[in-house]
Every structure is written in C-alpha cells, then in structure tokens.
Chain A
Amino acid sequence: MMPDPTCPDAGLAPSRRAFLAGAATLTVWPFLPRFAAAAPGGRDPRLIVVVLRGAMDGLSAVAPVGDPDYAALRGAIALGRDGPNAALGLDGFFALHPAMPTFARLYKAGKAMVVHAVASPYRERSHFDGQDVLESGLGGVGRADSGWLNRALQALPAGERIARAGGLGVGTMTPLIMRGAAPVLGWSPQVLPRASDDFAARVLDLYRHADPGLAETLERGLATDKLAAQAGMGDAKSRAGAATAEGMKLVAAGAAHLLAAADGPRLAALSFDGWDTHANEGGATGRLAQLLGGLDGAFAALETGLGPAWRDTAVLVATEFGRTAAVNGTVGTDHGTATVAFLAGGAVRGGRILADWPGLKTADLYEARDLKPTTDLRAIAKGLLADHLGLSRRVLDTAVFPDSTAVAPVADLIG
C-alpha cells in the first residue's frame, strides 16, 4: 500500500487502525479517519460489483497460454499468442482475450488486475444456487434474503456520507448481492415517460397508509428517478438488455453517472446476463468474444462516466463459477468450478495477476474436469472491503461473510 501522508498510521494493518479509530470516536464502528473526514483531497471511495450471470469461462477470458496442456484441452476455442486475433499478453504465462483492449490498457497502467483460479465456496454446478452463494456471501447454499454488499453497507458508520447515500442496485430487479436492510436506490435504463411528481406524491401517501413495506421501496425508486433526472438521464430511452454489448455499456454509463454525483450512492451492484456458453462459444471471435467486448465497453463507460471519481473507484467483476477445462462436444464448455475475477479502477493496485496456478493436467483438475480453485473469492472481497472501505476483520468475518474467519482477506489490493 502506498504511504498516505495524511494518515500517520497508514502502515498498520487495517483492523489495527480500525480499532484505534473506533476507540477514539466512541462508536462501535471501526473506521479509517483519513476518509471519514471528507476534506478536500480526502478519499471518497466507490465500490462497484458486477455479477456475470451464467458462469463466465475464465480460461478463455484470461487464457493460460503458457500452460503446456492449455491448447490441447481447448481445441477449437483455444486462444493463440500470435496471429491476427492474438490474445493480449499480460505476463508471459497468461494472456487476455483480444476483445478486451480497455482492460489491457488499464492493466498496463497499473489500474487493473486479474485473480485466476478463484471460486466462491460453492462446489456444485447449479447456476442459481451458485449465484445465491456468490451474492449472499454465505459459506454454502441456504435461504438468503440479503447480500454481502448490502451487509457491508449496514456496517458503515451511520453518520457518514457513504452510508447515508446508500447503495445502488441497477436493474428493475435489485440483485441479491445488494438486497437487505440498508437503503438501496434502484435505477434501470428507462423506456417510458415519467409520471408527474404530483401523481407520485399521491401514490406514495397512499402506500404509507396502506402498505408501508411498498411505500419504503417506492420512495427509494422515486429518489433515484429524481437523481437521474438531475444528472440529465431522466429521459434516457433504450431497449437494450444487459446481455448485449450495447446494454452493458448503457447500464455501466448510467451507474457511473449516479455514483459520480456529489450526493449519489457510493456502492453499486450491476449484473450482466448471458455467459452460459454451452455451445459455439467461439475463441478469439464469436459469442463469448462479444460478451467480453461488452464487459470491456462497460469498463470504459465506468472510467469515463465517473470522471475524477474513477481515481477512488474499485470495480470487482465476478461470476458464480467457471466452466469445464476441456471444450465439450458442441464447441462450448459445460458448468465448471474455478474461473477469473477482474479488478479495475483508479484505486486498484493493478498491473499483476494473482494466481496460485493449479495446472491443467487431469490429476490437477477439480474432479478431473474443472480448473481447481486455489483462491476463495471471499478473500478478495474481504480485502477490498477492508482496504477500500475500512471494514474491520471482525465485521467481515461475522456479519458480511458469516462464519468465514478461516478466510483471510487478501492484502494490498488497493493502493
């Protein structure tokens, strides 16, 4: 971590600093003083989590081209080091999919990194349970009605701006990762003219009398509409879904607008669909290439839309699990286990790949078919929440990711 001149004890572990700050301010909330004070030049961190639904093929997104078994396993969909659509070399062993030039540029600038052979604690192969585990932050499958990002928000100090502004759930359905007790604004690209303020006020009043649960939700929806209108997005119209490149860009640009606002939310959850590439996945071009290109466009839209706030932003892109190490019989891949996670943003200490590479020989694969997980995704999320938002180890181990004491946060992701 870079030394921070405004913070005399920046060299201490986050939990240690957190403890000191908590004790000094008579609040149970452990917090980093350097951004608690929203002084000019102080940090105003943003955290964006993008969930890729359908299980992204990590071995194609960031290909281990240096692994002697890679090309044979992948057959027709393997990426090459050279040729017209060569993968973008990252470190000699791993190469980035050629559809992601923005991410490659950020990586070179030290503002993006890759975590490979990573997985949530989920070890079966159902998309829906896998997404629930990824988003709920639980150690396994179970009934989940709140997500880890929302619980992180709950753990922030009530008085602070970052907590007051709440979180942002993008889409007409709030992603599970952002559902929970902390206030969440909702926004989705609009296709309709807005109802008048007068009408909205009447309906809200009616809900307050008759259905307080709905009233609270509606109030948050109306608040975001207002914010969006102020940001000049009130009449944005689109039919693009979040499974198209255009849709991803639009959703990312909208979220960036709201997060950039001085009084906007600081934590956001986005989700992009369509990553379940069982057949005709494609290699350097084709279906997965289009999706990765869309994701790359979303990175660009976030960077542009956040403007100066990009400096204090960290983006985590994760998916429920990976895909089979070998190409299947229909030039695609079936449900697997470990995959990649992307980190990007001005706050990220990037330009590197975090991977305890398990290898691709049959004996090294999980159940002789999937890339073996060597990093727990929760360790990455915990590292971000600790170093970027200042959450303490205790809160992370118990409230945000319950029963996860054994999973230590990865240090130095930020800085």
Chain B
Amino acid sequence: MGQPTDPLVAANRFGLGPRPGELARIAADPRGHVEAQLADPTAARLTAPDLMASDRAMREARAAERVRQAERARAAEAGPAAGGKTPPGPAATPVPAMAGNPMPAMAAGPAPAMMAPGKPPAAAKPPLPIEAEIFRREQIARLARFCETATPLLERLVLFWSNHFAVSETKGNPVRVTVGAMEREAIRPHVLGRFADMLKAVETHPAMLVYLDNNQSIGPQSLNGRNSKRGLNENLAREIMELHTLGVAGGYAQTDVTALARVLTGWTFANPDEDDFHGGRFTFAPGRHEPGTHQVVGRSYPENGHAQGLAVLDDLARHPATARHLAFKLARHFVDDQPPAELVDRLARVWRDSDGDLAAVTRALVTAPEAWRAEARKLRAPIEFVVAMQRAIGRPADVGVANGALVALGQPTWAPPGPDGWSDEAAAWASPAGLSTRLDLAVQFARHAGDLEPAQLAADLWGAALPEPTRVAIRRAESRQQGIALVFASPEFQRR
C-alpha cells in the first residue's frame, strides 16, 4: 500500500486504470490531466444508432410481447393435433438472464462465457428476444466506452451516480429494456450539471418509476382512487428521501414519506401498448393524483399537478442533509472508506454554496489535497477490476466474457441487490470468495491478452512505482501468460 504517486492517483483513484501509454502521457501534469476532464460536460454523453430511447424500447418490447402472446394463443387454438404441449416454438424461448451466453449447469471444459471472442458456437443461435437484445447492446456500448474513453473520470462519475440511483433489471422486462437508457438519458447528461436536474430526470424516468413501483401508486382521494380498490405505494417516496437525497438520518419521519408518496401519485408513463407515439414516456396522470396541499419535511406544497412534486425534489436537492449525505458518499467512493471529516465538510459546503452544481463539487473533490495523499486502501469494485484489465490489454473483451466475470464477482451489470446499490466499502468486496475468484479471472483475462510482455504491462500500469515484491514475482513467472495473470492478481492492481 502506501501513498500512491500523483500519476497513479490520476489514473486509478480518479480513473479506470491506465491504457497502454496513458500513464507516460499524463506523467508531466497528472493533476492538470484530471481537472481538464471537467472542461467538457457533454463528453459523458453516449448515443449510438443501435441504442434505443427508453420510450421506444418500451414500445418495441411490448409489441414483441403482443406478437408472442398471439402466437401462443394460435398454438393453443390449433389444439393437441398441432402438438399442444410439445416444445414451444422459438418465439416462446425464455429470455436468458444474461444475453448472449447461456451457461449449462455442470458443463465440461471451459465455460462458454470464457470462450475466445469471435469464436462462434457450433450451431447458429436463434436471434435473441428483443428485450435481451436491447439490454445486450446497452452493455456493449457501455463497456466499449469504459475501455476506450479519454475522460475516465466522467465514466467513474457515471458509475457512481448510477449506483446511487440504483435500479435492477431483475425487476422484469420494463426495467431491463430501459435501465441502460436511463443511464444515458438521466445520469450522463448531468454528471457535471446540477444535482436537482439529475434527480428530477431519474425520478421521472420509467426505469425508476417501475423499479420502485410508483407507476402503480394511486391517490386514495383521486378520481381513480375513489373508484377502485387500489391506492398508495410509498416505495419510491421512501427511497428518494432515505437513499437519493436526505439520507437515513436526514431528519424526516414516516409522515413525510407518506406525504411525498401522495405528492408523487400520478407520476407514471404513457401506456406503451396503447400509445404508439408517447407510449413509454413520462406522463402525469391527474386522475391518479392525490389532490390537495401536502406537507413534506416542514414545508407546505400547494396543489400544482406535476409541478408540486418537482418543487419538492428541488427543495430536497438543496437541503443541507442532502449536501452532507452526498458529500460523504462521494468522498467515501473516491478517497477512503472513512473519508477525512474536513474533506466531507468542504464538499458539503461547496454543494450548498453552488446549489448542488456537480461540476463545482467534483472540482473540489479532485483538487482536494486529501485526495492526493490518501493511501490506496480502497478495493476496486468488480466492474472497476474487470474494466481495468481490459484497458490494460487495450481492448474491450467480449461482452459475454465481461458479464461472466461480473456475475462471478457478485456485481452483475445493472442488477444491484437493492435500491441502495452495491456497497462502496473495501470490506464488502474483500471477501474470501471474491478474492479467490479474482485470481481465476486474472488467469482467464491473461489468456485473452495476446502477446503482451508482462514487464511492459507492469510499466504501463505503474511506471517506476511498482514495489519490489510484485516486480520480482512477475519476473519469476513460469510463462508470459502467468506473468500477465500475476499483474492482474497483484495487490497493487486490486487497490486504488
């Protein structure tokens, strides 16, 4: 461990690990290299012709489901003569949990997930269901960006905020087809913008509305509520206050949760089955909205339709408890599991003074003296570990390879265990099974590294800063491939 050199702080603490030659390029001015990444807020955006907007993704997924339903109905009607219960046609094939690489139980030989990229399976696979295909394309685009970006700090911010506003594809198809789009539509445009804007973009996004059930919540006194048995669901309201803004000790009560839930009734999206143009887009449904003035965290919000909820979010975004909560989380994520109190105070102050300007807060973080002298005690999260190997090799791995690795390490893409996201502390990832799995993965990725020279790879990753024991171990490796695997398994590669 020990205090890392400035270029290593720039490339690892504030980056995703160096690509070949990167460390040498930034060595002259590592701090300037980090700050320069804040110059262009649009650099975090990600669009591509094969990526769908969330509303279109929802409409196409529903259209595909309607076709499948019709086919099933036809098959059932055809009756037993047509093979009623015989194996279902391709349209009814279940969507695999992870696109592209089914994993038969107890398969012999290397797992399919680790097959060399570009090696096609023996038989041509049927096309993926559209839901899985949309999800797969989003993963590929994201991985490629992580591996190739020239502004890795912004990608780290994307990872941080995506985990802060965690949603999971395991909730079902509506989230699976929109979770990647949510990151592109609600997170990426705002990582150097205003927190209030990111907050409003996230809480109105269909992925979040579905994940935390708000699309089903109905005001008991609303037009629809009075005529049905359905009513309030407080899931989104609670997590907005507990996780997204104030923090669990942020000074709100059960009555505030219920009041915000009432405010948010009517926040939903247009029905993708019925509306070919707006279906899947955020909409405010007045008939579901609980009418009246509502009291949230000491403030009164008069009836104002959809703007009532936006006003609450604006106030929550600038609340001092939110500033403190996010200042702590940012410092913990980038600097240390127990971040210096002075640093947290400073970030919270900048947050309050700038009204939650994330560019200003990020600048305060990356120019903080504490951030450049802290020991490298943090453990790379699995996604950072996997991406760092691919950047070191110089190209993205096959998406199946990367997914297999992330599943094995307990961080499957866009499938966090709950709305609080994955843990940000070293203790959570430094588990016995987690570490021994990193060894297995180091060996697997070394196999895909081509003819890299281990000593050159080490120089690309650490320059002259690599401690002697690791240097010696790499030199003594029994093969070039084992040398590369040792680089990836080394303690210096785990910490940042």
**Is B39 an interface residue, CB under 8 A from the partner?**
no
Q: Is A221's CB under 8 angstroms from B213's CB? A: no
**Is A322 an interface residue, CB under 8 A from the partner?**
no
**Is A3 an interface residue, CB under 8 A from the partner?**
no
Q: A211 to B420, alpha carbons, bound, how many Å?
A: 30
Q: Is A172's CB under 8 angstroms from B103's CB? A: no
Q: Is A186's CB under 8 angstroms from B431's CB? A: yes
- A237 touching B103 in the complex, CB below 8 Å, given contacts A172-B434, A173-B434, A273-B418: yes
- A217 touching B435 in the complex, CB below 8 Å, given contacts A127-B420, A172-B409, A278-B213: yes
Q: Is B103's CB under 8 angstroms from A206's CB? A: no
Q: Is A205's CB under 8 angstroms from B473's CB? A: yes
Q: A328 to B103, alpha carbons, bound, how many Å?
A: 39
The distance from the CB of A255 to the nearest CB of chain B, in whole angstroms, is 12
Q: A331 to B114, alpha carbons, bound, how many Å?
A: 43
Q: A53 to B420, alpha carbons, bound, how many Å?
A: 12
Q: Is B435's CB under 8 angstroms from A218's CB? A: yes
Residues from chain B with a CB closer than 8 A to the CB of A367 are: 254
Q: A218 to B491, alpha carbons, bound, how many Å?
A: 11
Interface residues of A in 100-141 (CB under 8 A from B): 124-129, 141
- A276 touching B473 in the complex, CB below 8 Å, given contacts A173-B431, A195-B439: no
Nearest CB in chain B to that of A192: its residue: B440
Residues from chain B with a CB closer than 8 A to the CB of A209 are: 469
Query: B408 touches which one: A124, A172, A179, A279 (CB < 8 A)?
Result: A172
Query: B410 touches which one: A129, A169, A173, A223 (CB < 8 A)?
Result: A173
Query: A330 touches which one: B107, B217, B436, B489 (CB < 8 A)?
Result: B217
**Is B322 an interface residue, CB under 8 A from the partner?**
no
Residues from chain A with a CB closer than 8 A to the CB of B440 are: 192-195
Residues from chain B with a CB closer than 8 A to the CB of A276 are: 235, 418
**Is A404 an interface residue, CB under 8 A from the partner?**
no
Q: Is A273's CB under 8 angstroms from B417's CB? A: yes
For A215-259 the 0/1 string (1 means CB < 8 A from B) is: 001111111110000000001111101010000000000000000
Q: A169 to B430, alpha carbons, bound, how many Å?
A: 12
Q: A43 to B230, alpha carbons, bound, how many Å?
A: 54
Interface residues of B in 194-235 (CB under 8 A from A): 212-213, 216-218, 220, 225, 229-235
Q: Is B430's CB under 8 angstroms from A193's CB? A: no
**Is A96 an interface residue, CB under 8 A from the partner?**
no
Nearest CB in chain A to that of B96: its residue: A239
Stretch at the interface among A16-24, A154-162, A196-204, A383-391: A196-204
Q: A187 to B404, alpha carbons, bound, how many Å?
A: 17
Residues from chain B with a CB closer than 8 A to the CB of A285 are: none
Q: Is A237's CB under 8 angstroms from B248's CB? A: no
Q: A223 to B436, alpha carbons, bound, how many Å?
A: 10
Nearest CB in chain B to that of A178: its residue: B431
Nearest CB in chain B to that of A274: its residue: B170
**Is B442 an interface residue, CB under 8 A from the partner?**
yes
Query: B103 touches which one: A191, A193, A210, A273 (CB < 8 A)?
Result: A191
**Is B111 an interface residue, CB under 8 A from the partner?**
yes
Q: Is A206's CB under 8 angstroms from B486's CB? A: yes
Residues from chain A with a CB closer than 8 A to the CB of B433 are: 169, 171-172, 174, 186-188, 221, 224
A-B contacts counted at CB < 8 A amount to 216
- A171 touching B216 in the complex, CB below 8 Å, given contacts A126-B248, A186-B433: no
Query: A203 touches which one: B98, B213, B420, B439 (CB < 8 A)?
Result: B439
The distance from the CB of A357 to the nearest CB of chain B, in whole angstroms, is 24
Nearest CB in chain A to that of B253: its residue: A124
Q: Is A172's CB under 8 angstroms from B485's CB? A: no
Q: Is A203's CB under 8 angstroms from B103's CB? A: no
**Is A54 an interface residue, CB under 8 A from the partner?**
yes
**Is A145 an interface residue, CB under 8 A from the partner?**
yes
Q: Is B407's CB under 8 angstroms from A193's CB? A: no
**Is B110 an interface residue, CB under 8 A from the partner?**
yes
Nearest CB in chain B to that of A184: its residue: B432
Q: A196 to B478, alpha carbons, bound, how many Å?
A: 12
Residues from chain A with a CB closer than 8 A to the CB of B97 are: 239, 241
Q: Is B106's CB under 8 angstroms from A237's CB? A: yes
**Is A56 an interface residue, CB under 8 A from the partner?**
no
Nearest CB in chain A to that of B442: its residue: A195
The distance from the CB of A148 to the nearest CB of chain B, in whole angstroms, is 17
Q: A235 to B105, alpha carbons, bound, how many Å?
A: 10
Q: A53 to B417, alpha carbons, bound, how many Å?
A: 9
Q: Is A191's CB under 8 angstroms from B111's CB? A: yes
Nearest CB in chain B to that of A276: its residue: B418
Q: Is A329's CB under 8 angstroms from B432's CB? A: no
- A129 touching B432 in the complex, CB below 8 Å, given contacts A172-B409, A206-B473, A330-B213: no
Query: B232 touches which one: A174, A219, A224, A329 (CB < 8 A)?
Result: A329
Q: A367 to B249, alpha carbons, bound, how many Å?
A: 20
Q: Is A279's CB under 8 angstroms from B216's CB? A: yes
- A206 touching B490 in the complex, CB below 8 Å, given contacts A172-B410, A241-B170, A278-B213: yes
The distance from the CB of B167 to the nearest CB of chain A, in whole angstroms, is 13
Q: A235 to B111, alpha carbons, bound, how many Å?
A: 10
The distance from the CB of A112 to the nearest CB of chain B, in whole angstroms, is 28
Instruction: State the interface size on chain A (CB cutoff 8 A).
Output: 73
Q: How large is the interface on B (under 10, 10 to 19, 20 to 34, 35 or more residues)?
A: 35 or more
**Is B267 an interface residue, CB under 8 A from the partner?**
no
Q: Is A222's CB under 8 angstroms from B436's CB? A: yes
The distance from the CB of B496 to the nearest CB of chain A, in whole angstroms, is 13
**Is B293 an interface residue, CB under 8 A from the partner?**
no
**Is B238 an interface residue, CB under 8 A from the partner?**
yes
Interface residues of B in 441-492 (CB under 8 A from A): 441-444, 467, 469-470, 473, 476-478, 482, 485-486, 489-492
**Is A14 an interface residue, CB under 8 A from the partner?**
no
Q: A218 to B495, alpha carbons, bound, how many Å?
A: 14
Nearest CB in chain B to that of A273: its residue: B417
**Is A214 an interface residue, CB under 8 A from the partner?**
yes
The distance from the CB of A345 to the nearest CB of chain B, in whole angstroms, is 25
**Is B70 an interface residue, CB under 8 A from the partner?**
no
Q: Is A239's CB under 8 angstroms from B495's CB? A: no
Q: A152 to B271, alpha carbons, bound, how many Å?
A: 53
**Is B494 an interface residue, CB under 8 A from the partner?**
yes
Residues from chain A with a CB closer than 8 A to the CB of B218 are: 329-330
Nearest CB in chain A to that of B477: its residue: A202
Nearest CB in chain A to that of B422: its residue: A173
Q: A225 to B440, alpha carbons, bound, how many Å?
A: 11
Q: Is B491's CB under 8 angstroms from A206's CB? A: yes
**Is B429 an interface residue, CB under 8 A from the partner?**
yes
- A195 touching B103 in the complex, CB below 8 Å, given contacts A186-B433, A205-B473, A330-B213: no
The distance from the CB of B98 to the nearest CB of chain A, in whole angstroms, is 7
**Is B183 an interface residue, CB under 8 A from the partner?**
no
Query: A329 touches which one: B217, B415, B467, B495 (CB < 8 A)?
Result: B217
Nearest CB in chain A to that of B230: its residue: A329
Q: Is A210's CB under 8 angstroms from B437's CB? A: no
The distance from the CB of A8 to the nearest CB of chain B, in whole angstroms, is 41
The distance from the CB of A257 to the nearest CB of chain B, in whole angstroms, is 15
Nearest CB in chain B to that of A198: its residue: B478
Q: Is B170's CB under 8 angstroms from A243's CB? A: yes
Nearest CB in chain B to that of A128: its residue: B420
**Is A290 an interface residue, CB under 8 A from the partner?**
no
Residues from chain B with a CB closer than 8 A to the CB of A61 are: none
Q: Is A192's CB under 8 angstroms from B232's CB? A: no
Q: A190 to B443, alpha carbons, bound, how many Å?
A: 15
**Is A75 an interface residue, CB under 8 A from the partner?**
yes
- A sample of 25 inter-chain contacts (CB < 8 A) reads A76-B229, A126-B248, A128-B248, A141-B248, A141-B249, A171-B431, A174-B432, A191-B404, A192-B405, A195-B443, A199-B482, A205-B473, A217-B431, A219-B432, A221-B432, A221-B436, A222-B436, A237-B107, A239-B97, A274-B170, A278-B212, A278-B233, A328-B231, A329-B231, A367-B254
Contact surface of A with B, Cβ cutoff 8 Å: 53-54, 75-76, 124-129, 141, 145, 169, 171-174, 179, 184-188, 190-196, 198-200, 202-203, 205-207, 209-211, 213-214, 217-225, 235-239, 241, 243, 273-274, 276, 278-280, 328-332, 334-335, 367
9 new A-B contacts at CB < 8 Å, known A243-B170, A331-B230: A128-B418, A171-B431, A192-B405, A195-B439, A199-B489, A214-B494, A274-B170, A278-B233, A330-B230
